[in-house]
Chains A and B, each alone.
Chain A
């Protein structure tokens, strides 16, 4: 793993000296006046300002909702074209509004404060509230260590003797709040936070969730779905839990059974005829579950190997690619549903994982260059997030007609980060094959976006609108998964 870490540093070092900064400055200073509104070279490509080329005349509920959504997005996507006078400076040379960093920070800090009684519906989701806000604050450049004491104080009463975390004090252990709690603790870091987790009990509890068909329940006696699998594997991987199934697990049929026995097969059964992935077998393909399934596979092995061996990749890509809409630019979660800011991550976040499956591992000691590169529209997604998801008073949202919230803020900003970076799965030395649940620690990244010719794609975001780098599988700050795992590896015993 040492070699990989070096490689990661190398990569980010060389890529730090990106495009000549002075050019950018000029473009920002003088570019705006060079693009008069209505001229033959519009700021915003017509793809994002006009109706789709083919629309059926038959009206149904679906088409009405879709048209309404296009109509609420179009004015925001094209706003730079109509801006006149000083207002033009609200947009960058590509007609994108600025990232409203200060207001987003204020909104998310507020979401960590005292919430009004209407939030009673979020009573079982407080670990999520913490995770969403911390992730956003990191992306926006805030130091998370300042929240260390508070995070520990908040999550301590939610940890149960069985090892899992509940959504609140006295709630049953559940993988979703456990995932959010574990990620929040490792994000703020420090011995006290990392020691808080009872790994031995956590391991036994994951064994209780494991099912004989290979999947995981979300809580003991709860539903089984790919969320359960992804969250469980993130926890096991980050905390360096033993791979073997505890003897207390009712899923244990053979001595050799592990946490990942039958898991690939379970995930394979969730792929539908459309090519996408459902929450469990038989159900409809859905963006959130596609991410969970792909990320779960990437925790287990080399993405090229395991994704291609488990799923019908051409069908999966065909389905995933169809989820990106024009003119909106964002992603919908299912066929014939509407774009939504959170699918920028759930569907959009599948792309780096798919790309790693197509590119294959980067040579262990050679240059990093994608063979396939990006096959979705980073530009479209960036436009949807910055034009349509930003609320006027801070925070991000599903779509213009919806209110902002911490959940949509989190996944829109995570996705914005993904549009601004490239990720690579790094091959390992031949004598050091991947061991199960360590695959996700072998990724590298670059702040430059390279296309399949190895050429740099020009970013449409200005430097000041860039957000921080996030891990594409664990969805926590870049580098934290490795330091966390190393911390637990150095600790003797469970």
Chain B
């Protein structure tokens, strides 16, 4: 009847047909016969907890028909580990499937599991590069790379050039910007930093949890200078590109440097004396933060109040609301409210 039923290798197995809920069931699928048959053998195999070479053939067959079947991948991984298979060989088998199914994410968990077990990362960064050639913002692929770097301590000289190559292709690739952040700052911020201890509960009383647990004193000045300069060069290429603006603001906040340290740079793209000539709404947003005297969210109190000018902050926010980014006008209005209320409270208005 089918390729399994006719195969003596599977003669000992009594397939368990799918119970898809009977005649009244919803969203039933007209499965191709081959898929129905293979999955009924899978149910039977799983019921008897068999891990064998024929299981690898069966799971490969099902994956070929439906790579989104997460159970098949998990059972396959268990089988590979039980049988002590060559996991590099498995990764090579997976590669073309990953390339053919860009959106599939089960593959990436499988890959992570095997790479972790292998305790080796040879070929992995190369394959990631191949994947990103097809889809430069693939979330699962970038996440896997971040996991890989942490897992094998790859804070080496390959990651930054890789990011720069990706950004050379598309300076607006935000996934690449995120990876740059991770590569530069991730090593200073081990994942174990924030622990659920009494200490972190106390920290929450003056700063949100996401802002605690950093070891900012360890950032060398030269590193921060380099990252600020990198973001600024990118902004010059395309000032309306939000990614480097987010990066620049993030770097300054992370390092505890006042936003106002880059005010002359920002004013090249948005200057309140020339409101008609704004070249970047993000620069205007940045300028509003500088004039509002926004403090770096972490680090020693190094807020620079000298540039604080509530009137100018409001002017920048009005320009955004009315002219340069009006879809967000309620947001800009809300920011203005906060600034003016704060000014009234402190008598600086």
Q: A residues touching B (Cβ–Cβ < 8 Å)?
A: 47, 53-56, 58, 60-63, 111-117, 119-126, 129-130, 133, 147, 149-151, 153-157, 166-172, 174, 213-214, 219, 221-223, 261-262, 264-265, 268-269, 271-275, 279-286, 308-313, 315, 317-319, 321-322, 324-326, 329, 334-337, 372-377, 380, 452
Q: Is the CB of A56 within 8 A of B238?
A: yes
Q: State in angstroms the CA–CA spacing of A386 and B120 once bound together.
A: 51
A275 neighbours in B (Cβ, 8 Å): 246
> Which stretch of B5-13, B66-74, B83-91 is in the interface?
B66-74
Answer yes or no: B211 CB below 8 A from chain A CBs.
yes
Known: A170-B43, A317-B331. A115 touches B28 (CB 8 A): yes
A313 neighbours in B (Cβ, 8 Å): 208
Known: A170-B39, A280-B143, A375-B331. A62 touches B173 (CB 8 A): yes
A269 neighbours in B (Cβ, 8 Å): 191, 194, 210
Taking a contact as CB atoms closer than 8 A, the residue among B31, B42, B208, B242 that contacts A312 in the complex is B208
Answer yes or no: B300 CB below 8 A from chain A CBs.
no
Q: State in angstroms the CA–CA spacing of A170 and B36 once bound together.
A: 13
Q: Is the CB of B29 within 8 A of A309?
A: no
Scoring B residues 119 to 150 as 1 if CB is less than 8 Å from chain A, else 0, what string do you get?
00000000000000000110100110011001
Q: Is the CB of A272 within 8 A of B178?
A: yes
Q: Shortest Cβ distance from B294 into chain A, in angstroms?
A: 8
Q: Shortest Cβ distance from A396 into chain B, in angstroms?
A: 18
Q: State in angstroms the CA–CA spacing of A279 and B247 once bound together.
A: 19
A63 neighbours in B (Cβ, 8 Å): 172, 238
Scoring B residues 22 to 60 as 1 if CB is less than 8 Å from chain A, else 0, what string do you get?
101111111110010001001100100000000000000
B154 neighbours in A (Cβ, 8 Å): none
Known: A58-B238, A222-B70, A315-B297. A157 touches B21 (CB 8 A): yes
A-B contact pairs, 11 of them (CB 8 A): A116-B30, A120-B66, A129-B27, A155-B21, A265-B200, A282-B143, A283-B142, A284-B143, A309-B208, A310-B209, A376-B328
Q: State in angstroms the CA–CA spacing of A373 and B329 once bound together.
A: 13
Taking a contact as CB atoms closer than 8 A, the residue among A115, A279, A452 that contacts B27 in the complex is A115
Q: Is the CB of A324 within 8 A of B328?
A: yes
A282 neighbours in B (Cβ, 8 Å): 143, 146-147, 150, 182, 186, 191
Known: A262-B196, A268-B210, A309-B209. A120 touches B71 (CB 8 A): no
Known: A116-B30, A309-B208. A222 touches B174 (CB 8 A): no
Q: Shortest Cβ distance from B259 into chain A, in angstroms?
A: 13
Scoring B residues 208 to 248 as 1 if CB is less than 8 Å from chain A, else 0, what string do you get?
11111000000000000000000000000111111100110
Q: Is the CB of B19 within 8 A of A169?
A: yes
Q: Is the CB of B70 within 8 A of A171?
A: yes
Q: State in angstroms the CA–CA spacing of A312 and B208 once bound together.
A: 6
Main DSSP-derived SS at the A contact region: loop
Q: State in angstroms the CA–CA spacing of A280 and B142 once bound together.
A: 12
A335 neighbours in B (Cβ, 8 Å): 174, 177, 242-243, 246
Known: A269-B191, A279-B143. A169 touches B18 (CB 8 A): yes
A319 neighbours in B (Cβ, 8 Å): 246
> Which stretch of B157-165, B260-268, B310-318, B319-327 is in the interface?
B319-327
Known: A222-B109, A271-B210, A336-B174. A283 touches B143 (CB 8 A): yes
Q: Shortest Cβ distance from B53 into chain A, in angstroms?
A: 21
Q: Is the CB of B330 within 8 A of A56?
A: no
Minimal Cβ-Cβ distance residue in B for A257: B196
Q: Shortest Cβ distance from A378 into chain B, in angstroms?
A: 9
Q: Is the CB of A154 within 8 A of B25?
A: yes
Q: Is the CB of A308 within 8 A of B194?
A: no
Q: Shortest Cβ distance from A203 into chain B, in angstroms?
A: 21
Answer yes or no: B204 CB below 8 A from chain A CBs.
yes
Q: State in angstroms the CA–CA spacing of A456 and B32 once bound together.
A: 55
Q: Is the CB of B31 within 8 A of A123?
A: yes
Q: State in angstroms the CA–CA spacing of A66 and B26 once bound together.
A: 38
Q: Shortest Cβ distance from A371 into chain B, in angstroms?
A: 10
Taking a contact as CB atoms closer than 8 A, the residue among B42, B142, B191, B246 that contacts A170 in the complex is B42
Q: Shortest Cβ distance from A395 into chain B, in angstroms?
A: 15
Minimal Cβ-Cβ distance residue in B for A54: B240
Answer yes or no: B14 CB below 8 A from chain A CBs.
no
8 more A-B contacts (CB under 8 A) besides A169-B18, A377-B330? Answer: A124-B71, A153-B26, A169-B19, A274-B250, A282-B182, A284-B175, A336-B173, A336-B174
Q: Is the CB of A170 within 8 A of B196?
A: no
Q: State in angstroms the CA–CA spacing of A222 and B106 once bound together.
A: 9
Answer yes or no: B349 CB below 8 A from chain A CBs.
no
Q: State in angstroms the CA–CA spacing of A119 and B65 once bound together.
A: 11
Answer yes or no: B99 CB below 8 A from chain A CBs.
no
Answer yes or no: B93 CB below 8 A from chain A CBs.
no
Q: Is the CB of B29 within 8 A of A375?
A: no
Q: Is the CB of B27 within 8 A of A53?
A: no
Answer yes or no: B20 CB below 8 A from chain A CBs.
yes
Q: Is the CB of A54 within 8 A of B173?
A: no
A120 neighbours in B (Cβ, 8 Å): 29, 31-32, 35, 65-66
Q: Shortest Cβ distance from B72 into chain A, in angstroms?
A: 9
Minimal Cβ-Cβ distance residue in B for A371: B337
B175 neighbours in A (Cβ, 8 Å): 284, 334
Taking a contact as CB atoms closer than 8 A, the residue among A53, A124, A153, A268 that contacts B209 in the complex is A268
A168 neighbours in B (Cβ, 8 Å): 18, 20
Q: Is the CB of A336 within 8 A of B334?
A: no
B238 neighbours in A (Cβ, 8 Å): 56, 58, 60, 63
Q: State in angstroms the CA–CA spacing of A272 and B68 once bound together.
A: 29
Q: Is the CB of A150 within 8 A of B25?
A: yes
Q: State in angstroms the CA–CA spacing of A43 and B337 once bound together.
A: 30
Q: Shortest Cβ distance from A68 into chain B, in angstroms?
A: 14
Minimal Cβ-Cβ distance residue in B for A325: B327
B196 neighbours in A (Cβ, 8 Å): 214, 261-262, 264-265
A372 neighbours in B (Cβ, 8 Å): 334
Q: Is the CB of A264 within 8 A of B25?
A: no
B324 neighbours in A (Cβ, 8 Å): 53-54
